[in-house]
Amino acid sequence: MSKEMFGMSESDIREQYINSLTARLSGLEMVVAGILSDCQEELAAADKNEWRDQNSFETKRRERIRKQLNVAKYILFEMMDLEKIDER
């Protein structure tokens, strides 16, 4: 998986999300919920920024949302892998 897919390296995802204080205190579920909330905010903010160059703004906004959703999916898959290990 590449940096283009997530906007950051897999090691950065682990450091910033999976091994974060939020993950340790509240669980990875809350980390994923936070990422999804960020995506919702990004979508809502687009409505307030109609005055910007819409093509440029829209392209960048969609790319940020796409990458954040991929990070959330990556974390969910990591959680699923951990569950499989725990079942053994």
- 28-71 residue pLDDT tens: 999 999 999 999 998 887 666 655 666 777 888 889 999 999 99
Q: Residue 64: what pLDDT?
A: 92
Contact 13, 71 (CB under 8 A): yes
Mind giving me the DSSP string for 4-55?
HHHSS-HHHHIIIIITSHHHHHH-HHHHHHHHHHHHHHHHHHHHH-TTS-HH
What is residue 84's predicted lDDT score, i.e. its pLDDT? Answer: 79
Confidence at residue 4, expressed as pLDDT on a 0 to 100 scale:
83
Residue 47: the pLDDT is 64
Q: What is the pLDDT of residues 6-35, one digit of tens each?
A: 999 999 999 999 999 999 999 999 999 999
